Amino acid sequence: MTDAKLDLETVPIPGLVSAFADLAHEIRSSIRPGAVLPDPRPEAIKASLVARIRPVIAALSKRATLDDVRPLFESEDDDVRGMAATALGFFDDELRSATFGGVVYGAPTKEALRLLRLARAPDTADPPLDRMSEEQLFQRIVDVLLRLYGTRFFNWLGNDGNGFTGDNDVDMTNRNHWIGEKLIALRELKSRGALTRLLPLLDDPNPVVQTGAATACLGIATDRAIPILEDLTARWVGKGMADGLEISAARAALKNWRAGKPVIWGVV
């Protein structure tokens, strides 16, 4: 069934969802990795596609529930979930943010949502760092780095599209908290002469865990740490605000290390 045959006021909701998915795939999401920008297709074709999907979006807004459209946000087709994130975000801001970041960073929506919620969850470090065992301290560092990774999926554009508005202020405060907690935990590990506990993380598949460990291990595993940071800084710009900040931090770490300056005060 195509959208041209739909009576948008009476068609069952699954029909609307299917029509949105078909049109979204045809339109192609501009935030999808590898998307050709600007879209080289004739303007008339692009305008026609947009004109066809707009009434479907309006009908979904009027008639559908979040549960009805959730499969669009969780679609394995990045064109579909990318369009859902940009056109149907009014259903749920948190899901929109996680889906948008999931497309940009290549993470399934459910995993992106889990990480976003982890990053926003209250800090429940217990016991205090100076009373933690070495293993507890190591796990604390991993947890904080994973929460920092989760900040990639925040809504960094803000509610008005210009940044640092609405929830964005809270999210930036949240991200800064985890950065501070990372530094405190690394200093505690250093004070115990136990930075070698981080060496296995140099092979971690999570990019934030890996580069966080690499920065802290510059002094004890230089030959392994530098290529990790250089690989990150080879990308001059990030896919989003969070990994853009990660690139800047890695670049500063390498610059300070090569100049013989402190990289993380009290750590390396």
CB atoms within 10 A of CB 8: 16
For residue 24, give Cα distances in angstroms to 46, 50, 53, 54, 89.
Answer: 12, 9, 8, 11, 14
Each domain of the chain, given as residue ranges in start order, spans 3-109, 121-258
Q: What is the model's pLDDT at position 163?
A: 43
CA trace torsion 112, 236, 155, 57 (10° rounding): -80
Counting residues of the chain whose pLDDT is more than 90, the rounded percentage is 80
The CA distance from 147 to 182, in Å, is: 10
pTM of the model: 0.89
The CA distance from 125 to 63, in Å, is: 44
The DSSP call for residue 94 is: H
Q: 90 exposed, middle or buried (CB, 10 Å; 0-12, 13-18, 19+)?
A: exposed
Q: What count of Cα atoms within 13 Å lies in the side-chain half-sphere of residue 236?
A: 0
Q: For 56-103, write each residue's pLDDT tens digit.
A: 999 999 999 999 999 999 999 999 999 999 999 999 999 999 999 999
**Which contiguous run of DSSP H or E holds residue 173?**
helix 167-191
CB 109 within 8 A of CB 99: yes
Q: For 153-207, write each residue's pLDDT tens digit.
A: 998 765 444 444 445 678 889 999 999 999 999 999 999 999 999 999 999 999 9
CB 70 within 8 A of CB 98: no
**Using omega within 30 degrees of 0 as the cis cutoff, is the peptide bond preceding 128 cis?**
no
For residue 215, give Cα distances in angstroms to 68, 81, 102, 152, 226.
Answer: 45, 35, 26, 19, 8
Does 23 have pLDDT greater than 70? yes
Does 44 have pLDDT greater than 80? yes
The CA distance from 192 to 65, in Å, is: 53
From the list 80, 69, 71, 75, the residue with the least C-alpha distance to 108 is: 75
